[in-house]
A = this chain, B = another copy of it.
């Protein structure tokens, strides 16, 4: 993530929203509706939901969206233009139906924090969040923590520890904080706590001050 004009703990107040919160825009509403479909597809009765018709309707919507899609290279330029936070990432992106989405705020102790409740699409063990989903969320949260800390980079190493199962259907608090910057090396930590405040998953990340060039 480019820091650029991105808010940092030095420049912005406690509680600043660091992710792109869902707006009352058609693409955000359509994406939120797609999330409902993903979730309901896992819950619906396999036998009685007229799923062949659902498949037809979804394919027809996909056809429509694709007919109005520019070439990927062109769309990528648009997607990455301007400053500010992305709207398309798979964790916080209001335009990405894979994202829960997680909303993160910057706190005045230098940490970033968000609350999220995960449902069946994110399941690993029965009733629990998939361990890989926890690492996906934490990697991203550490990236946002780095931007809030004032120095962002690319993930070089993640060490994820699983302390206890992370429950679905329960408010989880996700936290990240930049600990130190040593030349190009950035050290950042984070965790996911359950509703009782117990740490379910913790992470230590090493990031390198580097970035992939934007398409243009």
* Binary B-proximity of A114-149 (CB < 8 A = 1, otherwise 0): 000000111111111011110111111000000000
Contacts of A43 in B (CB 8 A): 65-66, 69-70, 72, 75
Does A180 interact with chain B (Cβ within 8 Å)?
no
Does A54 interact with chain B (Cβ within 8 Å)?
yes
- Could you tell me if A33 and B62 are in contact, using CB atoms closer than 8 angstroms? yes
A46 to B31, CA, bound (A): 12
* Binary B-proximity of A48-80 (CB < 8 A = 1, otherwise 0): 111110111111011011101110100110011
Interface centre among A39, A59, A62, A79 (most CB of B within 10 A): A62
Using CB atoms, name the residue of chain B closest to A38. B97
| Copies of the polypeptide in the assembly | 2
Q: Which of B65, B89, B136, B159 meets A40, CB within 8 Å?
A: B65
A69 to B37, CA, bound (A): 12
A64 to B69, CA, bound (A): 28
Q: Which 8 pairs show the lowest CB-CB distances between chains A and B?
A: A132-B139, A33-B58, A26-B51, A132-B136, A40-B65, A36-B62, A125-B212, A131-B155
Q: What is the interface of chain A, defined by CB distance below 8 A to chain B? A: 26-27, 29-34, 36-46, 48-52, 54-59, 61-62, 64-66, 68-70, 72, 75-76, 79-80, 88-91, 95-98, 120-128, 130-133, 135-140, 154-162, 165, 169, 211-215
